[in-house]
A and B are shown apart, each in its own frame.
Chain A
């Protein structure tokens, strides 16, 4: 019998497929269904990357809001340097890519039946589920700080109305007022965020209300880009911005919203404007789906981002325990693309290859003074670990033109990443 090259090839591939890939979804005939919950940097990136990896995938993006409000650069909105409209993005272009955008809140996941239920009762079946729910505030973890208190003392840690509330309070504050910020213990969304916020509020006070003062109460003794922030504060905001670490009484133990007072073990700080960045956990659906552990965050496989607790459910972005990777928009986007490639492979019965991920985070200390941290990550001993010898922060001795260049690059980064995710 003569076997033509073409037939041989076909037979060979078929035999290989059957042997290596037990029951890939495509072999069952239907287009594989992937549901992505959460339309932030992680989820929206992932939905798009899934379609790019394999256009046969039927991707559904579940998101409660019609407008996304980006957290990166929201500190510049608080500091009066930028309008909130520059932070807002819609899902129109994502829908135009052929992604079904389901407006609603995911309230339950049936991991056995493989379906997600939305608040309105809609059931979305899936072959693979990607959860990108971001963070939820741990209401009750800080006595006195509940949802009602947040209407008086904003957290502004999910951008939107809270961002504007804090900005309005700063604008209404008389010159000479005391601003007090409380920063949480690790882990939390955007590790350098509280320090960038303190910097840009200090910039606002220095230029608009120079008799005012800012105290940053911290539940930690160390923080991201610490030496760079502290050097910049000494240079730009001497006597205006005071950081109080844990060991000097920085840990806020309760909040009295009615009197705008933050209480520590060492004393009480009555503020003209207070901002509490509270303890956090993975977004609510993570717990409902059974993918959050006792820490409140979600352990994952570092190659596929599949949950360690539930098969066929992947977790990306701030909700995930991503080893050495910080909870940042850049990391979320990087994880989303890695996860999408892995999910596409798994759906066709293939084996995902070991990924390499990057994070780059810029912080503004002033409008023309940027600093950065970067890292490269790869799976190691079941975790995402930093690649040794790479990464790190901006040089301590960089010149002001370099700091200005990093401020320009920070804005360029925001345009680029929001363009990729929402544009």
Chain B
């Protein structure tokens, strides 16, 4: 019994640790830096995503997808991502510096 609880707890712990420790970007995230600069040395009207508020990224993507936020290409790109994918990408960028 103790063993089973322990194993379950470890299982949860492992998953949580994997999510927190994973430096690997979720599907789609790495492609953003084609336009969104990673480096602070690059000047661009396109914002850096690293360190942005997770909810703000999610909201921006929702607004681009629905057309409520004016865009040039982001309306077309946002439509290619599911809500779950956007959540994962936003969470990952929020932890980047």
Given A412-B44, A419-B39, A420-B38: A334 and B77 interface contact (C-beta under 8 Å): no
Q: Which of A53, A358, A389, A408 has the most CB of B within 10 A?
A: A358
Supply 30 A–B pairs (Cβ within 8 Å), ascending by A: A8-B6, A9-B10, A9-B14, A49-B30, A334-B30, A355-B27, A358-B28, A358-B31, A358-B34, A358-B77, A374-B73, A376-B77, A387-B80, A390-B76, A391-B79, A391-B80, A409-B72, A409-B73, A412-B44, A412-B45, A415-B43, A415-B44, A416-B34, A416-B35, A417-B35, A419-B41, A419-B42, A420-B38, A420-B39, A423-B39
Give the 3 A-B CB pairs with smallest separation, nearest first: A376-B80, A390-B80, A356-B28
The B interface is mostly helix, strand or loop, or mixed, namely loop
Indicate whether A372 sits within 8 Å of B6 (C-beta atoms), given known contacts A357-B31, A391-B77, A420-B33.
no
Taking each of B27, B32, B76, which has the highest tally of chain A beta carbons within 10 Å of its own beta carbon?
B76
The answer to whether A337 and B31 have CB atoms under 8 Å apart is yes
* A372 and B72 form a contact (CB under 8 A): yes
Given known contacts A5-B10, A330-B34, A341-B30, A416 and B72 CB-to-CB distance under 8 angstroms: no
Q: Across the interface, which residues of B come within 8 angstroms of A357, CB to CB?
A: 28, 31
A413 contact set on B, CB distance < 8 A: 34-35, 46
Within the complex, the shortest CB–CB distance from B21 to chain A, in Å, comes to 13
Is B46 a contact partner of A416 (Cβ separation < 8 A)? yes
**A341-B24, A394-B72, A416-B44 given; 7 more Cβ-contact pairs under 8 Å:** A5-B6, A341-B25, A389-B80, A390-B80, A415-B37, A416-B35, A416-B42
Q: Are B77 and A374 in contact (CB under 8 A)?
A: yes
A406 at the interface (CB under 8 A from B): yes
Query: A362 — nearest CB in chain B belongs to which residue?
Result: B73
List chain B residues, Cβ under 8 A from A5.
6, 10
Chain A residues at the B interface, C-beta cutoff of 8 Å: 5, 8-9, 12, 49, 53, 330, 333-334, 337-338, 341, 353-358, 360, 372, 374-376, 387, 389-392, 394, 402, 405-406, 408-409, 412-413, 415-417, 419-420, 423
| Complex: A391 Cα to B75 Cα, angstroms | 8
Taking CB atoms, residues of chain B closer than 8 Å to A415 are 37, 42-44
Expressed in whole angstroms, the Cα–Cα distance for A5 and B41 within the complex equals 45
A258 smallest CB distance to B (angstroms): 43
Contact partners of B39 in chain A: CB under 8 A: 419-420, 423
User: Which residues from chain B contact A355 at a C-beta distance below 8 Å?
Assistant: 27-28
**Does B63 sit within 8 A of A, measured CB to CB?**
no
In the docked arrangement, what's the CA distance between A278 and B14, Å? 55
CA distance in complex: A341, B28 (Å): 12
CB of A359, distance to nearest CB on chain B (Å): 8
* A389 and B79 contact, CB distance less than 8 A: yes
In the complex, are the beta carbons of A338 and B10 less than 8 A apart? no
Contacts from B to A (Cβ < 8 Å): 6-7, 10, 14, 24-25, 27-28, 30-39, 41-46, 72-73, 76-81, 85
Contact between chains at A353 and B77 (CB < 8 Å): no
Residues of A within 8 A of B77 (CB): 358, 360, 374, 376, 390-391
CA distance A16 to B6 in the complex (A): 17
By a CB distance below 8 angstroms, the chain B residues around A405 are: 72
Contact residues in A for B37 (Cβ distance below 8 Å)? 415-416, 419-420
Nearest CB in chain B to that of A372: its residue: B73
CA gap between A180 and B31 in the complex, in Å: 37
Contact residues in A for B31 (Cβ distance below 8 Å): 334, 337-338, 356-358
Minimal beta-carbon separation of A294 from chain B (angstroms): 31
CA distance A333 to B38 in the complex (A): 14
Residue of A nearest to B70 (CB): A402
The distance from the CB of A114 to the nearest CB of chain B, in whole angstroms, is 25
- When the two chains form their complex, are residues B28 and A333 in contact, meaning their CB atoms are under 8 A apart? no
- B45: chain A residues at CB < 8 Å are 408-409, 412
How near does chain A come to B20, taking the closest CB pair, in angstroms?
16
